[in-house]
Structure 1
Amino acid sequence: MTKIAIDLHYLPSLEFFAAIAEADELLVFSQDLYQRQSYLNRTRIRLANKVETLSVPIVGRRPKLPLDQVRIDYEQNWQAVHLRSIQSGYGKAPFFEFFFPYIQEILESEAESLWGLNLNLMTICLKLLRLPVKITAFSEGEIPLDLLDVRGLIVPGRPFSDRNFYQSIPYSQLFGLNFEPNLSILDLLFCTGPEAGKILRESIKKH
């Protein structure tokens, strides 16, 4: 049984899902500290003329807090911005109308913490990808020894090619002639639908 300890990213990248695609169980840690300059509150999607980074604003500039205590700043109208950007980028994608309502419902639900938002999004993404993976929230006690710990490894500052999780497998995207690898899982879901899980498994980097 493969157990993997992960960070809960916001609408994670293909690299993230390639890293966990063969896991039986995911361990998530609500008491890990929030890290700035991470994917905990940001994701990348493709628009007509560029790749756009969407960021979830949080309360406080540099909160050194456990993840489940990091509050989302709803005084900023970020949900409308994110939903509008996703619609602009993928509204004409083949499977947009099937999957978008699930994402919209979670973004509009106003989860209190970043942890709660990301956990809800992770749960629905695994369901849409048809990955039979169990998520276990781990708060205290001995961490199991028989697990692969990838926390803190998938970060914006280094290219995915430096790591051993993901290899780029092109699929049909909406814009441009050149394939843009390692975007948010939304790109793969909206563009390929039921083929997403298969493409994801093919994207696992061979060692």
Structure 2
Amino acid sequence: MNNTKVLLATSFFAPIQYYCKLIQYPEIVIEQWEHYSKQSYRNRCNIYGANGVLPLSIPVVKATNKKVLTKDVKISYDTNWQKLHWKGIEAAYKSSPFYEYYIDDLERFFTQKWDSLLEYNNEIQSEIFGILELEPNIQFTNDFIEFGSPEFDDFREIIHPKSSKQGPDNTFKAKAYTQVFGDKYGFIENLSILDLIFNLGPDSLDYLESVHSNL
């Protein structure tokens, strides 16, 4: 951690590593002026299903221009992906300790429609902040911030679902906790924040603090 500011991409039910940054840094800046990057956490999250990692992806409207800004990305409802996501989350976590405690607060994200991916992700993030009892200082970029800016610790591309694209992060090291299908496939690290809150509930914030406090 070299700076007090962290630069992140928007994220759909972001991974645990992402939420660690939200409690590590006094100032969080989320990039909205970048060219939208496909196959990233911007429109995807990974949960722990009955057969292992289950990716949930939000379809977006194809832009007429190849380069579309993240702030302009629109969600597509050509398929009923919300229903599929809801069923996937239910199947994965219905037997988890805190599913019934939190699921009603999350239902609207699978029944209501948002036009903008960025706004949808922001609403989800605000709901998760309430669950975790977090009040981070979040701002959004006014213009694209070039890579290598000395003002920020930049994790826009480091936090990525593809291991081949992940960058080094010496301030995060996952620790095992009990997961619903852990007896079958073992511990799977750095899944969506959903996995943490459904399994650990009120202890989720303590976990986030613990995975970087001893580094």
2:178 pairs, out of 172, 175, 183, with: 172
Greater mean deviation of Cα atoms: 136-145 or 23-32? 136-145
Q: Which ranges in structure 1 are unaligned for 5 or more consecutive residues?
A: none
Counterpart position of 2:107: 104
**How far did 1:63 drift?**
4.4
**How far did 1:205 drift?**
7.1
Question: In the TM superposition, what whole-angstrom CA distance separates every residue of 1:36-84 from its partner, at most 9, and x where no partner exists?
Answer: 2211111110112221000000111784211121111111110000011
Q: Which ranges in structure 2 are unaligned for 5 or more consecutive residues?
A: none
How many pairs does the alignment contain? 207
Provide the rounded CA distance (Å) in 2 between the counterparts of 1:64 and 1:2.
31
Q: Give the % identical residues.
A: 28
In 2 relative to 1, CA 19–164 (structure 1 residues): closer, same or farther, beyond 3 Å?
farther
Greater mean deviation of Cα atoms: 73-82 or 166-175? 166-175
**How far did 1:199 drift?**
0.6
What RMSD in Å do the two structures reach over aligned CA positions? 2.5
Provide the rounded CA distance (Å) in 1 between the counterparts of 2:211 and 2:112.
32
SS of alignment partner, residue 200 of structure 1: helix
CA contact (8 A) 1:2 1:25 kept: yes
Please tell me the residue identity of whatever aligns with 2:58. V
Deviant stretches of 4+, over 3 Å: 140-147, 159-162
Asked if 1:191 corresponds to 2:199, the answer is yes
Q: Within 5 Å, give how 1:1-207 maps onto structure 2.
A: 2-60=4-62, 63-140=66-143, 146-158=151-163, 162-177=168-183, 178-204=186-212, 206-207=214-215
Provide the rounded CA distance (Å) in 2 between the counterparts of 1:161 and 1:39.
14
In 2 relative to 1, CA 29–192 (structure 1 residues): closer, same or farther, beyond 3 Å?
same
